[in-house]
Amino acid sequence: MVAVSTVTPLEQDVLLNMNKIEIGHGSGGKLTRDLIENIFLKYLKSDELKPLEDAASINLDHNHKAAVTTDSYVIRPLFFPGGNIGKLSVCGTVNDLVVSGAVPKYLTVGFIIEEGFLMKDLEEIVRSISETAESAGVKIVTGDTKVVEKNKGDGIYINTTGIGEIVKPMDLKNVSAGDKVIITGTIGDHGTAVAIAREEFNIDAAVESDCAALNGMLEPLFDIAGVKWMRDPTRGGVATVLVELSEATGLGVLISEEDMPVREDVRFIQDMLGYDPLYLANEGKAIIITSAESSDRVLEMLKGHPLGKDAALIGNITADFKGLRLKTIIGGERVLDMLEEDTLPRIC
């Protein structure tokens, strides 16, 4: 007897085709439907998500205004310590809603996939989207898939748009001198983890991205009247957010280097690379501006949550100057501007 392959050439062809994204998966025809049924609907199930309809019908509580936000995610690498582009695309949009005083409810997801992308990687990303959305309590209600040719993309880009119900309207106008600046945890973890994952630097360190949905931690703060404004310091980092805050309010922000929570290994690596953690992207942190009276309560509530255990009061709002200043550990004051050069592009 001769040994025979149990896989015929035709079957092999089918298997190979099934393993990679082809142009036809974006046709709107049969292959698109196969993709929807075999990958998307396997993980993304909701009453609202009906693949045959062009729009999803959603319920919003009529007692609140709706909030809407959109972000495209182009991070590289797609998989990094602490997450992947799928998890990030849910967390980032959920966080944009919650820092706007909204309870995140619904997400849409749009994929732009490069031809040849591995089906198993797509499946892993969609699985992450599903898990992250479920644990954050948001529903994926509709989606879209496009496929582009080789070298017209970079694996996969994802857009998510989020819709929520505003229960705590945040307004920069409420921010006033004497208010406190709180950060919910260590800064620069995401930027550092991704920089290392790119292997452009010869560094071996166990820094994970802080990528996390913050609604579970931040929503309880909506009940505190002294909480005035929140923002998640992603691209541009803590410094850029606070410079923008200063410009929009005409007030100054004084932050303290000593009080800034930075992981030891992150500080070490960024010292070596010459980056400042204040400008690095975070994907699971929020800056909170609160009245002085409420600041203890806010800190206490944050520290009671696993994602907030390193929360710290890092500065004050002041009418004494405009702009952002850092009180350095050696006692000086340094003026900080917003991010000028993009040292770590495609961080989210």
Interacting positions 281-310 with a second copy (CB under 8 A): 281
Report the residue number, 43 or 73, with the smaller CB distance to a second copy: 73
Q: Is 321 exposed, middle or buried (0-12, 13-18, 19+ CB in 10 A)?
A: middle
- Rule CB under 8 A: say whether 199 interacts with a second copy: no
Report the residue number, 150 or 309, with the smaller CB distance to a second copy: 150
Q: Both tokens of residue 252? A: 């100054």
* Binding segment toward a second copy, per CB under 8 A, in 153-161, 193-201, 220-228, 301-309: 153-161
Closest approach of a second copy to the CB of residue 32, in Å: 8
Of 80, 157, 222, 275, which lies in the binding site for a second copy, with binding defined by CB under 8 A?
Answer: 157
Q: How far is CA 212 from each of CA 88, 132, 209, 267, rounded to the nearest angstrom? A: 8, 9, 9, 21
Of 235, 263, 285, 325, which lies in the binding site for a second copy, with binding defined by CB under 8 A?
Answer: 235
Report the residue number, 58 or 119, with the smaller CB distance to a second copy: 58
Q: How far is CA 132 from each of CA 43, 88, 113, 337, rounded to the nearest angstrom? A: 11, 9, 21, 34
- Rule CB under 8 A: say whether 144 interacts with a second copy: yes
Of 42, 45, 65, 198, which lies in the binding site for a second copy, with binding defined by CB under 8 A?
Answer: 65
- Rule CB under 8 A: say whether 219 interacts with a second copy: no
Helix axes 119-136, 85-98, angle to 10 degrees: 30
Of 236, 277, 308, 315, which lies in the binding site for a second copy, with binding defined by CB under 8 A?
Answer: 236
Report the residue number, 119 or 338, with the smaller CB distance to a second copy: 338
The C-alpha atoms of residue 266 and residue 245 are separated, in whole angstroms, by 26
In the three-class reduction of DSSP (H, G, I as helix; E, B as strand; rest coil), residue 306 is classed as helix
In the block, residue with structure tokens 């644990």: 135
Q: Are strands 139-148 and 102-114 parallel, antiparallel or unpaired?
A: parallel
> Could you tell me which residues are beta bridge partners of residue 104?
164
The C-alpha atoms of residue 348 and residue 342 are separated, in whole angstroms, by 13
Interacting positions 159-188 with a second copy (CB under 8 A): 159, 161-164, 166, 169, 172
Interacting positions 3-62 with a second copy (CB under 8 A): 23-24, 26-33, 52-60, 62
Q: Which amino acid is at 97?
A: L
Closest approach of a second copy to the CB of residue 71, in Å: 5
Report the residue number, 99 or 317, with the smaller CB distance to a second copy: 99
Alpha carbon distance, N-terminus to C-terminus of the chain: 57
Interacting positions 96-115 with a second copy (CB under 8 A): 96-97, 99-100, 102, 106, 108-112
* Binding segment toward a second copy, per CB under 8 A, in 3-11, 67-75, 291-299, 325-333: 67-75
Nearest to 103 by CA among 213, 241, 253: 213
Closest approach of a second copy to the CB of residue 48, in Å: 8
Of 36, 44, 74, 90, which lies in the binding site for a second copy, with binding defined by CB under 8 A?
Answer: 74
Nearest to 84 by CA among 76, 95, 72: 76
Report the residue number, 102 or 269, with the smaller CB distance to a second copy: 102
